Structure 1
Amino acid sequence: MANYVKFKRDKVDICNICLQKKKLSWDHIPPKGGIELSEVEQWNVMQHMVGPTDTKYIPSQNGVKYRTLCQQCNNSLLGGKYDPVLNSFAEEIGQYLKSSLIIPEVIRFKTKPVMIVKAVLGHLLAAKGNLSFSNQDEAFREYMLNSEMTVPNGYKVFYWVYPYNNIKIMQDFSMMKVIGPESGNHGMFSMLKYFPIAYLVSDLNEYEGLDELTQYCTSSHDTEVEIPVRLSNLRGQKWPEINKDSMLLAGDDMGIFAKPKIKMLKKR
């Protein structure tokens, strides 16, 4: 398996969201303000999951980024409109996880769920070096660009606390549902995980007891809702993609795994 991840296209090319041919810009995933941008080591996510531990990584000086969005979609749509809500949500949760105080099992946060869902879907669209015209991506593009549209029918966004210092982006993979209603059925998934929260997009109605963010979404971007975050219901950092009770089906170029680069101390 090749250790390959395509992070950029030509400087002038088709934008992954609006599909217009324009000058492309770099989209940071997670976005600036939601995580400290530092030097990271990046792997093809499938090679990281199944390959040897000494495989060569791809370095990046300032976080995970893709040159796949035009400046309008990147800076005005995502960065100017949706990312501030996504980042604020992450910052509030992160403060609780870093606290030395005893915290309750469930805390409710007041936020704008439509803004968070659109930010997550927008960055997942950006995190594809090759332009995709799947039914899912076409539906997400329409949702991103239509301010009056509700969440595309048949898709859910789930979330859970992710207290780990790495980033994982996975696209267009299939897993079997193990427990609860629809167990045994396969669903299609895309996923974004980074401290302190993880998001799972699926065509299943529910997945392994995760809280669903899309149930709070209306057609209004500015609707504020208190949503629960279960701080005590921790999942492993390789869940759900590595699960002894399930099987994952995916292609070679399905995403990346990144972690902060370990800086070696210089000998005096």
Structure 2
Amino acid sequence: MGKFSQRLQKKVMTRGKTHGYCTICREYGKLTREHVVPQGCGNIEDKVIVRVTEYLDAPDKPKGNRSQGGIHFRTVCAKCNSLLGSKYDRELINFSNDIAKHLNHLTFGHVFNKITYRPYRTLKLAKAVVGHLLAANSVEETNSDKPLSNRYSMLSEFVLNEAAPLPEGFDIYYWLYPYKPIKMLRSIGSMNIINPSFRVAGDILKYYPIAFLVSYNSKPAPEYGLTKLNLPSTQKINDTAGVEVSYMRALRSDFPERPEDYEVLLMNDEVCTVAV
């Protein structure tokens, strides 16, 4: 118990050595700051970053590592940083800002559509989401040349190869997230202990106004109402596909990292963080 308590008291480190192994391509070199999520998605304010476990215990008084000018991780090389910024991030920014504008219409009493359906370059959108999740890693990973696991290796190749489709077995889901905390949850699983099955499993990125789940060989429980991102198998990088967003309801802000009755949560505390 003592060692566990000591580990929780350690600050989350987002900046390690200036040189190391990139968490996306795994090549050794100078590391750069990667904003998770892009600054264009509103990630520009000073934040305090803590572990999910700490935040769930004391959401009003987190004591963590202060990050100025938004949340950023010094975990990726300049080449991968540039790839995300120049090739993919603009689609994620456009998608996020469109949803935010629509939510603002509701706040100020303007005409409000309960559901929108618009075309986006969803392959670029998917690569941006995956790339930022790969960047939101422990700085300890930059100190070792250990190769990525098979799952993350496939996701890395998906980001690095502009023409690559989402690998077989992976799906990306999204849902409305009208809350301020930015949450990065890697390798997380919520399981029902009465009927043993994963309710939600994969990697999650949440920020105002949207949340994403990158799942592998699993589907979220249907009652959550998550929407699967439209990624046609023949889609090219600049092709568009229709994306539906429902504004009818929002899941609780701590879904799925706070287990409900008869649920258990499986996660790696080192790579599940919250910025507030």
What is the TM-score with the length of structure 2 in the denominator? 0.85
2:197 is equivalent to residue 185 of structure 1? yes
Q: Secondary structure at the match of 1:17?
A: coil
Q: Secondary structure at the match of 2:219?
A: coil
Aligned residue number for residue 87 of structure 1: 93
Which residue identity is paired with 1:172?
A: S
Aligned residue number for residue 125 of structure 2: 116
Does 1 or 2 have the higher relative contact order (CA < 8 Å, sep 6+)? 1
The answer to whether the 8 Å contact 2:191/2:265 transfers is yes
2:265 maps to which of 231, 235, 248: 248
Identity within the alignment, %? 30
Which residue identity is paired with 1:15?
A: C
Q: Secondary structure at the match of 2:74?
A: strand
Provide the C-alpha distance between the structure 2 equivalents of 1:55 and 1:15, rounded to a whole number of angstroms: 29
Provide the C-alpha distance between the structure 1 equivalents of 2:212 and 2:103, rounded to a whole number of angstroms: 17
What is the TM-score with the length of structure 1 in the denominator? 0.88
Provide the C-alpha distance between the structure 2 equivalents of 1:233 and 1:106, rounded to a whole number of angstroms: 11
Provide the C-alpha distance between the structure 2 equivalents of 1:217 and 1:94, rounded to a whole number of angstroms: 29
Provide the C-alpha distance between the structure 2 equivalents of 1:193 and 1:152, rounded to a whole number of angstroms: 22
Q: In the TM superposition, what are the counterparts of 1:211-222 in structure 2 within 5 Å?
A: 211-213=227-229, 215-216=231-232, 218-222=234-238
Could you tell me which runs of 5 or more consecutive residues in structure 1 were left unpaired when the two chains were aligned. Answer: 260-268
Aligned residue number for residue 126 of structure 1: 135
Aligned residue number for residue 249 of structure 2: 233
Provide the C-alpha distance between the structure 1 equivalents of 2:13 and 2:230, rounded to a whole number of angstroms: 30
Aligned residue number for residue 219 of structure 2: 205
Q: Deviations over 1:76-134 (max 9, x none)?
A: x1000100110011011100001121412211121111111100100100011232722
Could you tell me which runs of 5 or more consecutive residues in structure 2 were left unpaired when the two chains were aligned. Answer: 142-146
Provide the C-alpha distance between the structure 1 equivalents of 2:234 and 2:13, rounded to a whole number of angstroms: 35
Q: Deviations over 1:175-230 (max 9, x none)?
A: 1269xxxx742253211100111101112134432101154464411111121000
2:27 is equivalent to residue 20 of structure 1? yes
Provide the C-alpha distance between the structure 2 equivalents of 1:243 and 1:218, rounded to a whole number of angstroms: 38
Q: Secondary structure at the match of 1:191?
A: strand
CA RMSD of aligned residues (A): 2.0
Residue 52 (structure 1) shift: 7.9
Residue 61 (structure 1) shift: 1.4
**Number of matched pairs:** 254
Q: Deviations over 1:136-159 (max 9, x none)?
A: 211101111223321111111100
The answer to whether the 8 Å contact 1:24/1:67 transfers is yes
Against the structure 1 CA distance between its residues 218 and 233, is the aligned structure 2 distance closer, same or farther, given a 3 Å change threshold? farther
The answer to whether the 8 Å contact 2:230/2:243 transfers is no
Against the structure 1 CA distance between its residues 163 and 84, is the aligned structure 2 distance closer, same or farther, given a 3 Å change threshold? same
The answer to whether the 8 Å contact 2:121/2:238 transfers is yes
Identify the structure with the greater helix proportion: 2
Aligned residue number for residue 159 of structure 1: 174
Q: In the TM superposition, what are the counterparts of 1:4-153 in structure 2 within 5 Å?
A: 4-50=11-57, 54-75=61-82, 77-99=83-105, 100=108, 101-129=110-138, 130-131=140-141, 133-153=148-168
Aligned residue number for residue 258 of structure 1: 275
The answer to whether the 8 Å contact 1:158/1:214 transfers is no
